[in-house]
Structure 1
Amino acid sequence: MTDRRLVLGSVDATQEWGRKLGALLRAGDVIVLTGGLGAGKTTLTQGIAEGLGVRGPITSPTFVISRIHPSLAGGPSLVHVDAYRLGGPDELDDLDLDADIAVSVTVVEWGAGMAEALATEHLEIVLAAGGPDDGEDARVVTLVPTGGRFEELAARLLGAC
């Protein structure tokens, strides 16, 4: 597993990078978003949704746990999950996400330690506030790819910055 980092200087930059990511994703892909409250997980998901061309609006699914956003462009749907209130992998499994995995892109906020079991290959994206020299809205993004597809995808994303 290789870590790769980049700094996104603003909310707009986070959404734009998410659009680039979304445009590269395909049905069956699993993205795990990790970071504290306010780290930019939903902001990034909004960009991913735009890149995928799915129906919005994209808001945090904290209280409904998951939402399915159908494609407006003939591509895969987006399954957006917030695992914050789940007690563990068994509760995530109870959502029956595996029924949609093969035909959707699945983004799981707060999914570290739970969502990796959804697919042998996945991309974890860790978001954190930037340092004092990065700007008030900056985010440091660390890509943690698992599997050849996501190693290649991470390299493409870093090359596009």
Structure 2
Amino acid sequence: MAQMSIELQTADDTIHFGRSLGRVLRAGDLVLLAGPLGAGKTTMTRGIADGMGVTGRVSSPTFVLARVHPAGPAGVALVHADAYRLGGDLSQLDDLDLDTDLDRAALVVEWGEGLAERLSDDYLVVRLARRPDDVRTVRLEPHGAWTGRVAELPVAT
């Protein structure tokens, strides 16, 4: 598994990186955003949504668990889910029917590591960290078919 690390100097860089990632996503893609509170997961998702051209305002889905953003010109919808409140409860993840959404949408799951990997053998973990100087570091960890697609991923902002 090839991993990549990237530094993002500003929140705008995080959005720009997400936008570049969103441009390569297609129906069936699973992206897990991992990192502590304030690392930039929702900010990155805003960029992903913009890159995909989906409609609807992107905000943290913590209290609704999942939001569907209808497809734009690229024809792929985005399902933005937040597994934070699930606390490791796989039955609640099953209740969301996210595996069904993978047939027609790209799925981005915040806090999904340890839960959402079971939705697909092919997934990308985007691990975000925020340093004290406010610079974000991003480590990309491709799994399954994503290992072959890693060259499609943006490596610089």
TM-score clears 0.5: yes
Identity of aligned residues (%): 51
Displacement of 1:160: 4.7
Extract unaligned runs of 5+ from structure 1: none
1:9 and 2:9 matched: yes
Contact kept, 8 Å, 1:6 with 1:141, in 2: the verdict is yes
Aligned equivalent of 2:97? 96
1:43 and 2:35 matched: no
Aligned equivalent of 2:150? 154
Q: Distance in 1 between matches of 2:129 and 2:156?
A: 20
Q: Distance in 2 between matches of 1:153 and 1:160?
A: 16
Corresponding residue pairs, total: 156
Corresponding letter in the other structure for 1:45: T
Corresponding letter in the other structure for 2:120: A
Contact kept, 8 Å, 2:24 with 2:152, in 1: the verdict is no
Q: Distance in 2 between matches of 1:4 and 1:42?
A: 20
Q: Distance in 1 between matches of 2:75 and 2:153?
A: 20
Contact kept, 8 Å, 1:6 with 1:158, in 2: the verdict is no
Contact kept, 8 Å, 2:14 with 2:47, in 1: the verdict is yes
Contact kept, 8 Å, 1:54 with 1:71, in 2: the verdict is yes
Distance 1:143 1:74, change over 3 A: closer
Deviation by residue 1:77-133 (Cα, 9 ceiling, x = unmatched) = 100000000032222111111121110000000000001011110000000013x6x
TM-score, length-scaled by structure 1: 0.91
RMSD: 1.5
Aligned equivalent of 1:29? 29
| Structure 1 runs of 4+ with >4 Å offset | 158-161
Corresponding letter in the other structure for 1:157: L
Contact kept, 8 Å, 1:18 with 1:48, in 2: the verdict is yes
Deviation by residue 1:28-71 (Cα, 9 ceiling, x = unmatched) = 00000000000000000000000000012100000000000001
- SS of 1:144's partner is strand
- SS of 1:73's partner is coil
Aligned equivalent of 1:79? 79
Q: Distance in 1 between matches of 2:51 and 2:81?
A: 18
Extract unaligned runs of 5+ from structure 2: none
Q: Distance in 1 between matches of 2:56 and 2:10?
A: 22
- SS of 1:46's partner is helix
